[in-house]
Amino acid sequence: MKVLLIYPETPSTFWSFKEALRFVSKKSAEPPLGLITIAAMLPEDWELKLVDMNVSKLLDADIYWADYVFLSGMNIHINSFKEIILRCNKADTKIIAGGPLATTQQKDFLGIDHFVLNEAEITLPQFLNDLENGTPKYVYSTDQFPDITKTLTPRWDLLDIKKYASMSLQYSRGCPYDCEFCSITMLNGRYPRTKTKAQVINELNTLYNLGWRGGISIVDDNFIGNKVKLKNEILPAVVEWMQNRKYPFFFVTEVSINLADDEELIDLMVAAGFFNIFIGIETPNDDSLTECGKNQKQRRNLVESVTMLQKKGLIVSGGFIVGFDNDPPNIFDQQINFIRQSGITSAMVGVLNAPTGTKLFKRLKIENRLLDSWSGNNVDASINFIPKMSYSSLMRGYTKIIQTIYSPEEYYKRMKQFLENYKFPPWKSQKLTMAELKAFFKLLIILGVFEKGNKYFWKLFILSLFRYPKKFSVAMTLSVYGFHFRKIAATI
């Protein structure tokens, strides 16, 4: 059996980092972890080929070569997803679709031969068994959540790892919180299921032996969902592994803001090589937090929590949302002021949307407020429901936030605030590789010479070089991110 695994093309979005990738000569920020995990579950005698359309072209010859195409993607991939289906249909190549997009929006797709939905540890073996017996069904789905201690090591060997800026690894699935707009608990449940220490170390060893060095994104819904296991078992083992190999990796992950309440856990994460964390802060407005179920963010000073994490050695990226029913008219200024005060440089601000099947989607459907379309991109000003605030006010306010926080003057001022707060971790090397040196010279030319507002870059350059020399490389990296964010902001 010849199987072609296809990952759709990601449009240029906040998290695609396409403009930043130019500086380091990479094609994509992260690999398709779901597909290479699926690949590990397929029969060993099958011939596999992977095409990630973010790093290589999908050729007609690839499609004609395959007996089956395995297709997966997320909401952001919907347009590319449909184009791939059409190309496969024209070639008369059968398609098996799965992943978050197919699971939540199955009814939106024609031309799929078989849907293998939800978590593949349950549904894929059922499909493979029926396929072997010549009786494959159209849809395989489940309301159960599998034990991921049985999940196999992803097939990273199918990747051309040199084309990626980082690798991906998953430790847990599920989140203890149940935010109204979020699809995580619908897809992965509220009880965090975790891999074993042996699995985690084996996956680190696999990447290390493949020659990977650099960033690893731990793509958990909420990495700290099970704090006890992290503190007592997983992180101590990772700390030892990293120390024995002189920190060949650094980690990026997503956590909830209550990490700031656990100093022991923070210190363990930093010692293990965690470098950057994403937190869905959403809004500084308490009424809007109550509306969406973000109770863990209430009754706390959010700026102080972020500052504390920065002072411990973690770069904090933040997610912010406007468009809640309880947003007051001045919410846009509130968001701008919070982002300024927090020193969060990577601030992803989006308009609220209601993904299919979420609690928010169901409520808005009852209220007859749903609209038909959603791009899957929460930073392109699209919205799939009728907001309580007038649409024109929402769009004007949203545009004001984006144009303000990503103007060169504002962005570099925020970087200065961040550098004042941030403690450079002791394990992080300050030596530059040849690739990093090349990226640095590109940075000087593009940001320092050609970009409008370059005087703010040079002020930050001099400040970080002489006042914060240990943090200089971090400052330059965040400067590149700012260049990417400004390109995205210019499209809104």
Q: Which residues fall within 8 angstroms of residue 440, CB to CB, at 6 or more apart?
A: 432, 476
Quick check: 483 and 453 in contact, CB under 8 A?
no
Structure tokens at 182: 């979020």
- 402 has pLDDT over 90: yes
At 306, is the pLDDT very low, low, confident or very high (cuts 50, 70, 90)?
Answer: very high
- 378 has pLDDT over 90: no
* CA atoms of 280 and 293, how far apart (whole Å): 12
- 325 has pLDDT over 70: yes
Quick check: 236 and 202 in contact, CB under 8 A?
no
Count of beta carbons in the 10 Å neighbourhood of residue 44: 6
Quick check: 123 and 140 in contact, CB under 8 A?
yes
Q: Which residues fall within 8 angstroms of residue 257, CB to CB, at 6 or more apart?
A: 279, 281, 296, 297, 300, 302, 305
What pLDDT sits at residue 236?
98
- 297 has pLDDT over 60: no
* Residue closest to 104 by CA, chosen among 73, 135, 82, 138: 73
Least confident segment among 37-41, 257-261, 291-295, 372-376: 372-376
What are the strands of the beta sheet with 47-52, ordered from one edge? 47-52, 2-7, 68-72, 94-98, 114-116, 139-140
Q: What is the pTM of this model?
A: 0.94
What pLDDT sits at residue 436?
81
Which whole number is the average pLDDT over 171-197?
93
pLDDT tens figures, 218-274: 999 999 999 999 999 999 999 999 999 999 999 999 999 999 999 999 999 999 999
Give φ, ψ of 156 to 5 degrees: -65, -20
